[in-house]
Structures are given as C-alpha cells and as structure tokens.
Structure 1
Amino acid sequence: MIIATKNIAFQVFLAGAASLCIQSYALAGIPIQHWTQASGAEVYLVESPAIAMVDVQVDFDAGSRRDPPAQAGRASMMAGMLDKGVRAEDGAPALDENALSEAWADLGAQFGAGASSDRLDFSLRSLTEPDLLDKAVGLAAREIAEPSFPDPVWQRERQRVQAAIKESNTRPGTVIGRAYAQAVYGTHPYGYEVTEATLARIDVGDMRAAHDAGVVACRARISMVGAITRAQADAMAARLLSRLPQVPCASLPPLPAVMEVAPLSQSEEKRIPFDSAQAHVLIGQPGFKRADPDYFALTVGNYILGGGGFVSRLTNEVREKRGLTYGVSSSFSPGLHAGSFTVGLQTRPDQAAEAVALVRQVVSNFVANGPTEAELKAAKDNLIGGFALRIDSNRKLLDNIAAIAWNDLPLDYLDTWTQQVNKVTAADIKAAFARKLQPEKMVTVILGAAL
C-alpha cells in the first residue's frame, strides 16, 4: 500500500510539473542509460533534470508465479505486509506500521510494494533535495530488506482479506473471472485462485522465507526517472540494496523453473447459473509471451479486432449493427509466460447464444483473413497519435522503463515504438494471429440467469 504524504498541495505540484516535463519526450528521444552494479543488480536510468524529484522502481522475480498451489496469494500477501513494520537491525530501531507511515509522511515521500503475476516491486517517489532524498533512500532500504512481518498484524490482515474474498464471491465478475482463468491456464500459476483456505495456510514464516529467497540484491532490476545523474543513481541503487545480503547469484541455488502455459487441446464451454440481470461472457485462450517477436503485429491487430473501443470490428459488428451489447472488447495480457487472449462482453440472457456465436464468427474471420487496409491505417493513426499519452507522466514513463528492464527489451524501444507500429502490414497481422490463436479451441464461459 502506498503511504500518503501530508502535503497534498505538494503532490498536486509534482503531478502537474512532471506531466509538463514528460510531454517533451514525445517529441525527442528518450535516452535510457543501463549498467550492471558489482552486486549484479541492473540499473536503468532516464535523467529528467527539469523537476527536482525522482521516481524509482525495484523489481524482483518474486511474483505470484512463485506461489505454491496450496498457498495461492502468498506473494500478494507478503507485499501487503511489507509496510507493516521493520525490525531492529544494525543499531536502527524497530518501527511498527504507524511509525513507518509517519516517517514517510514527514519526508513528504511515497513508498510502496506490490506483487503481480511475474514480479514483486518496490516503488519510491521523493524530492531530490539531498537531505530528504538521503533519508528516503535509507528508509526504503530498510523496508526492502528488513520487514518484520508482525504476526498479530498478519492475523488481522488475513481476516480482512478473507472477508473481502467472501464478499467478492457474490459478484458475477469475480465468479466468471475465476472460472475463466482456471479453464485457460489449467494448472499454471497464472490460473491459481486465492481463497480463504489458501490464505489460512500462509503464516509469517512462509512470507519471510519467500522474501528471503526472492528479494536478493544480485537479481534486482532498478528503474529510475528523475533529476539525478548517473553517479547519483548508481549510489542510490547501491544503497537501496545495501541492507540485503551481498552475495553473487552464482553462489545461490537457481530459482525453480516455472512451467509454461499449456495450449488448449479442444474447445470448451462452461455455463454458470447466477442471479444476474446480464449474462457475462468471456471467450479466449492462452496468448503469447511479452518477448514474442509478433508483439507489434498482435498489438496493432488487437486494436482493430477489439482493443480500439468504438472503432473496433467487434464493437461494430456486435454493438453497432446488432445491438447485442453496450460494450465488447478483446485484449492480450502477455507476461513472462503466455498470458490470455480474451474477448469479454455483457448481454441480455436471452441474447447470449446469438452474441457468443457472432463473437466467434468475427474472431474466426479476423484470424483467417486479417484486417482491411482501411482498418489498418485507422489503427496506426490512432496508436501513433496517442503514443505521447503513454509517457505523459513520470509514473507512466517509469512503468515503461521498468517494462523494458524486466522484459530485456532494447534500450531504444520507446524511441522506435511508433516506427515499429507503422511498419506493421495487414499480412503481418494475419500471419501473427494465425500463429497465436486457434478459434476452434477457445474456452467460452457464460454466467447468468436462465442460461
């Protein structure tokens, strides 16, 4: 959880000033500096001297794909406990969650942790005034390396999350999402379900062990955007990791391999009775990894198929021509493993069969024939014209730099993004979709009343 600052006006200033500064990147190159520290940690930096602030993200391979099946949710729960206290180490006093919150507020800085499917991340935002930044980096280093995982707080948090899960199980979106993930991913960790039972099997010792195994200095990827030099960034990165054990990765056991997502062998349709005014529909299959060379062809193609909102083919066919839904969309979710391709919509229960048949037809036609030249031109114009919105704040730029770091993308990725989009052809899209999607083997999950 991100710690809020006391000075709201200061935060508004930062957001506005950063936005004005980052807009200039849309018109010029974004020089990304990259180097490896003696510890093995990799650092990525974009110098942005106009505003006296810095944003930092530190990533580790300790996301939920590392969770044991019986302890699904361990990574996200661990991340949620990292701001609940730090232990006393090397003469520094222990701090509970209230003391930590007050310390961050007094610094006018933000620090937080989160876990996604692939990674555990720590984020820091601070002014670059030397005394404030020095204290902020020092406190962040303690939270990264020395969480206390207090058991009474975990018991409280577990009860809170279990109650939230119980409540969410009354929502149609949760129920269909769970069934869909299990159907698409099977036994892969991307499809694990966090339940009251899996949380009951997690104790503070499990979280501490996961932290110690995953949060290792030599495996860190550190991304920075702000008013700091390379020398300052190097010193900051070293200090952020300084309280972790300083051991070379070669001396550590390798992280366990994670299975790949298995392709679907046949189509499957699941119908879930649920007291809901609308029928909820999800259709899809495993998609592709983020490092796939077809990434740009699939991105442009999906914009045409269902990712472009009101200008997409699915919206035109399902909503505009036939009025079967208020909204329909398609998306890919690539990660270190093949994330899902998903088409989602809601419709009246008595129209569900017609809507599903039409979506299948539109997807099959797109995979077989690809886009028209007119669709391709419109998609390119929209994607290239909207590129500046992808980097129009420090946070967005940092997200992009962190994605480059995490996925080992070229350092000129952002500089060449519009060129990569512009060179995609209709034939590229047709070939890429044919390689990745098999409409005849997709999963369909329909949830609603009287199905």
Structure 2
Amino acid sequence: MLSLKNKTLLSAVLAGASVLFGASAQAAIPIEHWALPNGAKIYLAATNALPIVDVQIDFDAGSRRDPPAQAGLAGVTAGMVEKGIRASRRPAAGPPQSGTAPSGGSEDTSVLSLGAYDAAMDENALGEAWADLGANFDASAGSDRMSFSLRTLSQPALLDKAVRLASREIGEPAFPEDVWKREREQLNASIREANTKPATIAGRAFSQAAYGTHPYGQDTTEATLAQIDVATMRQRYEQLILPCRAKLSIVGAVTRAQAEAIATTLLSRLPMATEPGGCTALPPVPQVAALAAAKDERLPFDSAQAHVWIGQPGYPRSDPDHFALTLGNYVLGGGGFVSRLTEEVREKRGLAYSVYSSFSPGLHAGAFRIGFQTRPDQAAEAVKVAREVLAKFVAEGPTAVELKAAKDNLIGGFPLLLDSNRKLLGNVSNIAWNDLPLDYLDTWTARMNAVTAADIKAAFARKLQPERMVTVVVGGKP
C-alpha cells in the first residue's frame, strides 16, 4: 500500500511550504490562459516551489440556480458527488498526464490498480483510494458556483492516478439513493439543531429581509430537502456540469502541456454539449433589487447575548469600486481592533467584545453587513452607535491617517495571500471566475495605493444607504 508513504511525503512537503513560498510570494507568478477545444477555460500558474499540483474546477451551478422549492439542491448535489461512482460506461480516460503510465501489474496492490479504474466504488472505497494516493478531492457549492478541487503530489505515477480517479468522480458520480436518504436525515437533524441557535435565526432573518425572493435569500429547510431526490440531482448535474461551462485553475509543478492533459482528462468523462457551437447560455438570474425602505426586525430569544446584523445588498465583484470599498471597509469595521466600529462600540462604550463590517461581493450584489453580539438590554444603544458610525463614515470617508494605516496593513499583508499553493490557487480561481485581468496580482498593490480618501467616500455613497438598511436583533424578551 502507498498510503503511509504518500501521506508522510505530502506532510513533509507541506511543512516546508511557508519557507519555500516566502520569497516567491513577493513577485506574482505569471498566469497563462487558454481554452480547450471542448470550450473549457484553463488558467495556469506554474511554480516549482513545491512538488504539489492543486486544481480547482468551477461551474455556474451554485445555489443561485436552485428552484425556491428545492433550496439547498446545489449543496447536497455537490456533497453526493463524493459518495460513490458508478461503473464506467466508457474506456478509461485518456493518456497519462506526465507521459509515464500508472504503475500497475503484480507489484501494484493498492486500491487503485489499473483494473480498478472502471469499477464502481462506494464512498468507503473512494476514501481508501484517495488515502492510498495521499491525495485529496473535494466537491462543494456556494451561492454562485459548484467547485471541484484536487490536491496531489506531482510525482508522475501518483499524479496520473489522482487525475484519473478525479475524472471518474466528476464524470461518473453514482448518487446512491440509500446514501442520500441517510444524508438527508443527518442534514435535517443539523437544521433542527441550528434552529435552536440565535445566530442561525439572525442570519436567516437578515438574508430574507435583504434579498426577498432573490436566490441569495433562499434558505435550506427540512421542507426543501424533502423535495430533492437523486433523480433531481442527476438531472441538474447533467444540465450544468459540462466541459464547455468549466473554468479550471491549476497551480503547481506542471508545464503547460501537462496542465492541458490534466484538464482534458479531468473533464473527459463528462458529456459533451449537444448544442451546435457548444453550450447555450444559461437562463439569466435576476439582479438584486435595492431596498426601498429600512426594515427593523426584533426577534425575542432567551439567550445571554443578542445577535445583531445591520446591512443591505452591497455590490457585485465586477464593480469598479471594489478596491475603494475594500480599503474603506478596513477602516470602518474590517480592520479588527483598529477599526472605527471597534473604537466606538467596544473601546469607548464597552457594548460588545467584537464588532465587524464586511462586503461579500459575488456574481450579484453580495451583502454588506455589520455584525456583533451584545447584552440584550444594551442592544438598542449598540445599534444606535453602530448606525451613527456607519452614517458618518459614508458621509465623510476616512481621514488621511486612517487611509495610510489601512494601506500599510493591507499592502504589507498582501504577500501572505500568496505564500502557499492553496492560497495561490484561491487567487487564480478568483481571477478565472470573475474574468479579472491576468495581471491582477501584479497590479494589485499599485491599484490599492492609487485609492484616495475621496474615492472611498464616493464609492461608499454610491453603494450604501444607511437610512434604508435591514436591522435584525435576535435576543431579549418579547
């Protein structure tokens, strides 16, 4: 078996990751971009800092495309991808990626001998196979995208096997009905438990008040899970998970030719688009509607702390104000103990231990939020102070001293966002998903430095309306 040897090797490699990436993170790694004949788009950042390959494949198949009555469909579909693969209905996928055939024959006693590549595997066999390779594969779904990620050592035989196994999980998921029934019961139990917590109630109330019927406001419930079966999952998967809809981000010790072979194999077991010329455009998802008036929800809950959220829909990631809003939010409430909200709510008045603000831009206007916990009897005062801080910041913007401190912190910390394969993969996939310029990482510091206090003031005035926000307080007596 290879598992102990490969796990030990991978652990040793990762232990030295921060040291090896320390110097290279200072200079952005060039990103190459091209498309495969099947329409898939590849983004490659080749680096030999570590003998590791990380891959992320993104599809426009997140929860924003869930029918309201089946909210949660994207997430459970992604989860079920990892619960087993059916017997292959086609030949094993493509040639080896590195030019070296996977080691098989009498000396290969692992789960992944060559003969296993087309056999059905349940979730236990899959787990053993990935452990045997010392590699990781994950499937997940967020509000916008469904993602598949692969991490493996770049050793040729291991890389070849990991890519071929990942291609089967992506292209031939079994969606076993008995496993879904078990998973649904576990999810229902988790939902029931979460519904006893004030944080869950506050988050749901905020999302529904801020987004209404938009998919960003949908909530997974026992009722919506009851409307989902494996046939629905298969149908959704076959419609949305197609090679022509894929964006692949690849980081690590591979050449462009190897990256193209990896991408080709990973997608080789998916059905090709049947439409002439490739994939047809997916139906548009409605844009988020602006709030017409303030909404104030006070929900009683027997808890020691009241949970407070204040906010509204913010902005999509494509908005040109992104840099100004990111920098301004650091001053307002994103900078931890050096933010205005912390100074006014925590330091001066002791109304909360921590308070923050954040933007969550997506394909649509992701939420702007101010969040904190406070004693129920202090909630009204804390909300008043937080609103006043926000209104003043939107009206006046940051001071010169605040702006410089924010720039020093964010720009000084930027190399830490690139100091590992996984962090670099996150940045490359962000560029791919949001169609950002390939030199985005190279120009990030200059663009952040170019933001002025006037830019921040203008951007916040365009995006936020303090007088028309949602306020949710969960806690206290009726």
Match of 2:169 in 1: 143
Paired residues of 1:40 and 1:248 also in contact (CA < 8 A): no
RMSD across aligned C-alpha pairs, in angstroms? 1.3
SS of the residue 1:287 aligns to: strand
Quote the Cα distance in structure 2 between the aligned partners of 1:423 and 1:252. 40
What is the deviation of 1:24?
2.4
The correspondence for 1:309, drawn from 324, 336, 355, is 336
* 1:252-302 superposed Cα distances (whole Å, 9 cap, x missing partner): 442111011110000010000111101111000000000100000000000
* 1:370-395 superposed Cα distances (whole Å, 9 cap, x missing partner): 01000000000000111111112111
Quote the Cα distance in structure 2 between the aligned partners of 1:26 and 1:142. 34
The equivalences for 1:32-71 within 5 A come to 32-71=31-70
What is the deviation of 1:349?
1.1
Quote the Cα distance in structure 1 between the aligned partners of 2:377 and 2:206. 21
Q: What letter is aligned with 1:217?
A: P
Give yes or no for the alignment of 1:31 onto 2:42: no
**Cα 1:190/1:14, change in 2 over 3 Å:** farther
Give yes or no for the alignment of 1:184 onto 2:210: yes
SS of the residue 1:414 aligns to: helix
Paired residues of 1:218 and 1:248 also in contact (CA < 8 A): no
**Cα 1:257/1:343, change in 2 over 3 Å:** same
Paired residues of 2:245 and 2:279 also in contact (CA < 8 A): no
What is the deviation of 1:30?
1.8
* 1:380-434 superposed Cα distances (whole Å, 9 cap, x missing partner): 0000111111112111110010000000001111111111111110000000000
Give yes or no for the alignment of 1:263 onto 2:286: no
Gaps of at least 5 residues in structure 1 are: none
> What number of residue pairs does the alignment pair up?
447
The equivalences for 1:217-366 within 5 A come to 217-247=243-273, 250-366=277-393
Give the % identical residues.
Answer: 63
Quote the Cα distance in structure 2 between the aligned partners of 1:330 and 1:165. 26
The correspondence for 2:193, drawn from 151, 158, 167, is 167
Quote the Cα distance in structure 1 between the aligned partners of 2:411 and 2:359. 19
Gaps of at least 5 residues in structure 2 are: 92-117
Quote the Cα distance in structure 1 between the aligned partners of 2:235 and 2:449. 47
SS of the residue 1:121 aligns to: strand
Quote the Cα distance in structure 2 between the aligned partners of 1:17 and 1:56. 20
Match of 2:159 in 1: 133
Match of 1:122 in 2: 148
Match of 2:447 in 1: 420
Quote the Cα distance in structure 2 between the aligned partners of 1:298 and 1:350. 33
Quote the Cα distance in structure 2 between the aligned partners of 1:248 and 1:368. 53
Q: TM-score when scaled to structure 1?
A: 0.97
What is the deviation of 1:12?
2.6
Match of 1:367 in 2: 394
What is the deviation of 1:156?
0.3
Paired residues of 1:291 and 1:407 also in contact (CA < 8 A): yes
What is the deviation of 1:8?
4.7
Quote the Cα distance in structure 2 between the aligned partners of 1:53 and 1:382. 30
Quote the Cα distance in structure 2 between the aligned partners of 1:21 and 1:220. 31
Paired residues of 2:244 and 2:278 also in contact (CA < 8 A): no
Quote the Cα distance in structure 2 between the aligned partners of 1:128 and 1:219. 26
* 1:278-333 superposed Cα distances (whole Å, 9 cap, x missing partner): 11110000000001000000000000000000000000011111111111100000
Quote the Cα distance in structure 1 between the aligned partners of 2:247 and 2:317. 17
